[in-house]
Amino acid sequence: DAEKSHYISKIKQLLKQQDAVLVAHYYTDEVIQALAEETGGCVADSLEMARFGNQHSASTLVVAGVRFMGETAKILTPEKRVIMPTLEATCSLDIGCPIDAFSAFCDQYPDRKVVVYANTSAAVKARADWVVTSSIALEIVEHLIDEDEKLIWAPDKHLGGYIQKQTGADMLMWDSACIVHEEFKAKGIVDLKQLYPDAAVLVHPESPASVVEMADVVGSTSQLIKASQSLSNPVFIVATDRGIFYKMRQLTPHKEFIEAPTAGSGATCRSCAHCPWMAMNQLENLATALEQGTNTIEVDSALAEKAMIPLRRMLDFAA
């Protein structure tokens, strides 16, 4: 409609004027992902977002996602201006891992390497030896096992449990979860599989173990998208945020993508297959942030210097 096109052309103009590039996560709304693609930015998983921001020449990065993604961009490229459509978009994993409690926990086990998921605050990253995202977590943990390391893992217990099962790593686990993925139910997938016997099940490893067990492919958002292209199944049951369907349908429009069932509906379901924080990224607040120069991400420089070490370690490992 007219309002939407008004915002889109305004954002395009502002991006150009300000030497800015838009980096969006696969869970943001379609209109944001499409705009990132159209304007030479990128739509990506959290590792690729970090890499893109790190390598792109633009002096301003506009990060459409959740707070930790903006902070990661700022930590990796402190010389750039990093803005977000909203500074309120947090993540239940970040909330579930407050620095004081986490640091005290780590202090009890000085002989263990501290591995944290990217979905954490800058302070938690600064306390870590390694930062990982879901697309690189298995490889990094395998590498640490080769080095005979024992680990502390935080904050996602489901992703941690999956990695532990796959690798046999000695991991002490923090107890936190993603409110979106935690809602997926194995029983619902069993029922759907009966209706769609040809369907492949794609699962993000932030889902509970019983759901991961049902999967044909377990992986990060970009790995699930690749699987939706490479597997020949005509139908996919997908246990992750429904924002991912935009890219899956764009790449293989002749296939059918079905949302994996969640715990319930209405009042019992807090966040049915769509992250409430990702959903806060809208055209209006994106335009306002660019126009008014608000919502700039700042990270305390001492903290950023420390957090940069495990973040760079991850990027170097992934390179």
Distance in angstroms between the alpha carbons of the first and the last residue of the chain: 42
- State the burial class of residue 316 (Cβ atoms within 10 Å of its Cβ: 0-12, 13-18, 19+): exposed
Q: Are strands 217-218 and 200-203 parallel, antiparallel or unpaired?
A: parallel
| Selected range binding ligand SF4 among 6-14, 96-104, 105-113, 177-185, rule: CB under 6 A | 177-185
Min dist. Cβ of residue 175 to ligand 13P (A): 17
Contact 14, 291 (CB under 8 A): yes
Residue type, 154: A
221 is in the binding site of which of ligand SF4, ligand 13P, none (Cβ under 5 to 8 A by kind)?
ligand 13P
Alpha helices in 203-253 (DSSP H): 209-212, 221-230, 245-251
Contact between 33 and ligand 13P by CB under 6 A: the answer reads no
The 260-279 site mask, x for binding ligand SF4 (CB under 6 A), equals ---------------x-xx-
Characterize 87-122 residue by residue with b for buried, 16 or more Cβ atoms within 10 angstroms of its Cβ, and e for exposed. bebbbbbbebbebeebeebbeeeeebbbbbbbbbbb
Residue 179 interacting with ligand SF4 (CB under 6 A): yes
Question: By rule CB under 6 A, what string of x and - marks binding of each residue 102-141 to ligand 13P?
Answer: -----------------x-------------xxx------
Closest CB to ligand 13P among residues 8, 69: 69
Does 5 count as an annotated binding residue? no
Stretches 89-97, 126-134, 298-306, 311-319: which one binds ligand SF4 (CB under 6 A)? 89-97
Taking the complex as a whole, the smallest distance from the CB of residue 47 to ligand 13P amounts, in Å, to 6
Distance CA 101, CA 302 (A): 20
Query: From ligand SF4, ligand 13P, none, which one binds at residue 277 (CB under 5 to 8 Å depending on kind)?
Result: ligand SF4
Residue 146: count other Cβ atoms within 10 Å of its Cβ: 8
CB 277 within 8 A of CB 285: no
User: Please, which residue, 7 or 285, has the CB nearer to ligand SF4?
Assistant: 285
Which residues are known binding-site members for iminosuccinate? 25, 46, 117-119, 134, 204-206, 221
Q: What are the residues binding ligand 13P (CB under 6 A)?
A: 45-47, 66, 119, 133-135, 206, 220-221
